[in-house]
């Protein structure tokens, strides 16, 4: 996990996806071939940091390394550019959330590798209070 993590950390730090140079469609995670027009001319594109909750679920089946975050709220988020992504929603309980709530990406501690004490950071989403 750790080698892949370091190789791909920009994707997690900056929410780096891709944008088609032919039709301007944007994707996350990044793709090597446009799913809209099949072009292979794509460039890295940072995703917008705000979006809205389309759906969410409370997960009690936490994967190893994330037990301290149980129960975890996993949301389907539509970013401002229309790209949909699945991400953790932090700092809220399920009854404080509603479909349509606005959220923004924040940089957080994601997990700690217990053996080595290595800390991984990445993005989560939090509700924007308005």
Dihedral angle computed from the Cα positions of residues 77, 79, 83 and 85, in that order, rounded to the nearest 10 degrees:
-30
Stretch that binds Zn ion, among 2-10, 33-41, 44-52, 99-107 (CB under 5 A): 33-41
Stretch that binds Zn ion, among 38-46, 54-62, 65-73, 101-109 (CB under 5 A): 38-46
Cβ within 8 Å of residue 65, ≥6 positions away:
111, 112, 113, 114
- Residue with smaller CB distance to Zn ion, 37 or 86: 37
What is the smallest separation between the CB atom of 39 and Zn ion, expressed in angstroms? 5
Total of chain residues touching Zn ion, rule CB under 5 A: 8
What is the smallest separation between the CB atom of 106 and Zn ion, expressed in angstroms? 30
22 binds Zn ion (CB under 5 A): yes
What is the smallest separation between the CB atom of 76 and Zn ion, expressed in angstroms? 23
């Amino acid at each position: 996990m750790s080698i892949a993590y370091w190789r791909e950390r920009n994707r997690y730090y900056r929410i780096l996806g891709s944008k088609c140079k032919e039709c301007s469609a944007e994707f996350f995670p990044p793709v090597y071939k446009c799913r809209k027009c099949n072009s292979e001319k794509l460039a890295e594109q940072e995703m917008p940091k705000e979006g809205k909750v389309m759906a969410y679920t409370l997960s009690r089946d936490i994967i190893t390394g994330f037990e301290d975050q149980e129960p975890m709220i996993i949301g389907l988020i539509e970013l401002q550019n229309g790209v949909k992504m699945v991400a953790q929603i932090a700092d809220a309980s399920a009854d404080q959330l509603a479909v349509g709530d606005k959220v923004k990406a924040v940089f957080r501690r994601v997990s700690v590798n217990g053996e080595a004490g290595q800390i991984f950071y990445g993005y989560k989403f939090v509700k924007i209070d308005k």
